[in-house]
Structure 1
Amino acid sequence: MIFIFKTNVDSIAKVKKVAPKLNKLFPNSKWNFDLEDCDNILRFESKEDIMEKVIFLLKVIGFECEAL
């Protein structure tokens, strides 16, 4: 499944803050940020329904995140 999120992760420095946590919690998933998009899109490819977990994780570490 592919999940798409709107975030406020708008720089490489912020991606570097988020990346280790995403990799640790979702080791079998593929993800990437589109920092050129006005919504700073996070695309997630996972076999599991991880929508709520991703939103919760980003909010816990101080970022905004909502499903699109």
Structure 2
Amino acid sequence: MVEVFKTNIAKVGQSKLLVKKLLQHFPSSYINFDLDDCDNVLRVEGDNICPEKIITLVTEHGYQCEALA
């Protein structure tokens, strides 16, 4: 399963911190950011991914996050 999200994370340091936090909840997933994309895309690939949980975790750290269709 692959989930893609639009975020307002623009800096590499921010993205690395969020990847670490997300991997704590989804340890067997592949998670990365495309900060060159206009939507600063967060991509999460793995089994048992919960988009709502990802959005909650990102927004709890003060960033915007919404699922892309």
Please tell me the TM-score bracket, short chain as reference. Answer: over 0.9
Identity among equivalent positions (%) equals 46
Q: Which residue of 2 aligns with 1:30?
A: 30
* Aligned counterparts, 1:1-68, within 5 A: 1-68=1-68
Confirm or deny: 8 A CA contact 2:7 2:41 kept in the other structure: yes
Q: TM-score, normalised by structure 2?
A: 0.91
User: Which letter does structure 1 place at the counterpart of 2:41?
Assistant: I
Q: TM-score, normalised by structure 1?
A: 0.92
Q: How many residues align?
A: 68
**1:15 Cα deviation from its structure 2 partner:** 1.1
Runs of 4+ in 1 over 6 A off after TM superposition: none
**1:42 Cα deviation from its structure 2 partner:** 0.5
Alignment RMSD (CA, Å):
0.9
**1:17 Cα deviation from its structure 2 partner:** 2.3
**In structure 1, what is the Cα distance between the partners aligned to 2:49 and 2:26?**
11
Unaligned runs of 5+ in 2: none
